[in-house]
Structure 1
């Protein structure tokens, strides 16, 4: 989660909009939007409820879950600080800092999409295993991993896990065409944001349940497919491109 993102949540609650919160915390609107999208994906319920009003406008409020996350973070921060103070004398002279030792275990990833969910089903094969992760009431993701990875991660039904997917691995297609493909993961949604560059476009697809997927496609493809805001589309993801992680 991180202190910077919690500061952003606090700013949303204080300022009443994502754009104002971005200005208050010294980040761009896109950076604030991306951070909130990532947090919504990693937590079971949306932390911010945005109201309509255009990409640069509209209001936003913290949900009850968002308020709880902010409160819990500060309580956890206080407890960690207290623990660090207690440990530092014992580690004196060892060259090891308590804070560095703890935070070194925290996961960081460059994958654009990180969705938290619960393992719903595991199907074992001779070499690989097929793991189905439920990330929302309406959405599941299937990953193909080795049986060794399955054992090492302790993935069994009911176990929380995180699905990591790089944006270039998310293929977008019209809904009707996507339904006729054999791709293992077919997730329908609505375009909530589009950022155009000189060559590529970054498309954010709202897949419901407070979750979203981000895809990187060529600018020409984005125009050809009509991937404008509020347009329906389907995300196609190869099961072999879904990486699973656990806390």
Structure 2
């Protein structure tokens, strides 16, 4: 077999163990249940026995705090059966993961003949960063200036981060409104201020949160804040600053940093 005939293949499964897992076969069963409204007909369409279908449904229902499948007695064919809202969402999420997996496998297969380059690409994708703060969200605004571009990134929970990059940088990232993106901010680049100073500095980014942890060192301390949206921000400040600001758990504080200190990346 030549290299050009090789393909990268893989399966997908979500779960806690071999018994409690969402797989292609079980997702197909859920889809048949949604279409048929009957566990009996869904089992037949999925190529399962009636008992096998119920065993699979019971296993899937036990994976979550609420069931994926709900049954009403008295329906034709052993009772009416339908997916719950969670069941519909899990099927949609699994299919979305399957599509992304297919894209990756096809891309990997197309380059398998040039394995050395593929290997180097994988190594670049798996590189780790020393930046303490890694934020993920969507690009919600792009403001182009004559020299630089300001990119607005909205995080889960509604907090916003602004990054200033060059025109070439935006072209390289192929960034656009709606793109999934991430931002890196070094903890040493963040200044902590009292809430009443928020919005009164020249720094473009101001994030309000509460202190959840302080890791004290000999000279400096790492202060970890939790934002209202659920994200965390880590800042490295002097021990004298911790004392001067009166920092302790649950104290409200503002994390301030320049847009030029934000390294922006956009997913493909």
Distance 1:246 1:108, change over 3 A: farther
Asked which structure has the greater CA Rg, the reply is 2
TM alignment of 1:96-135, pairs within 5 A: 96=116, 101-135=121-155
Find 2:232's aligned residue among 202, 212, 234.
Answer: 212
- The answer as to whether partners of 2:157 and 2:230 remain within 8 angstroms in 1 is no
Return the alpha-carbon distance in structure 1 between the equivalents of residues 222 and 126 of structure 2: 27
Which residue matches 1:243?
263
Distance 1:148 1:100, change over 3 A: closer
Which residue matches 1:194?
214
* TM-score normalised by the chain length of structure 1: 0.60
Return the alpha-carbon distance in structure 1 between the equivalents of residues 264 and 117 of structure 2: 30
- The answer as to whether partners of 2:138 and 2:179 remain within 8 angstroms in 1 is yes
Which residue matches 1:183?
203
Return the alpha-carbon distance in structure 2 between the equivalents of residues 136 and 107 of structure 1: 24
Gaps of 5+ in 1: 1-9, 11-63
Deviation at 1:101, TM superposition (A): 4.8
Q: Report the aligned-residue RMSD.
A: 2.8
Return the alpha-carbon distance in structure 2 between the equivalents of residues 232 and 153 of structure 1: 35
Q: Per-residue displacement from partner, 1:158-210 (whole Å, max 9, x unpaired)?
A: 11110110001111011012343232111110001110000000001101222
Q: How many residues align?
A: 168
SS for the counterpart of 1:104 is helix
Gaps of 5+ in 2: 1-15, 17-85
Deviation at 1:226, TM superposition (A): 1.1
* TM-score normalised by the chain length of structure 2: 0.56
Return the alpha-carbon distance in structure 2 between the equivalents of residues 224 and 95 of structure 1: 56
Q: Which runs of 4+ in 1 moved over 6 A?
A: none
Deviation at 1:140, TM superposition (A): 0.3
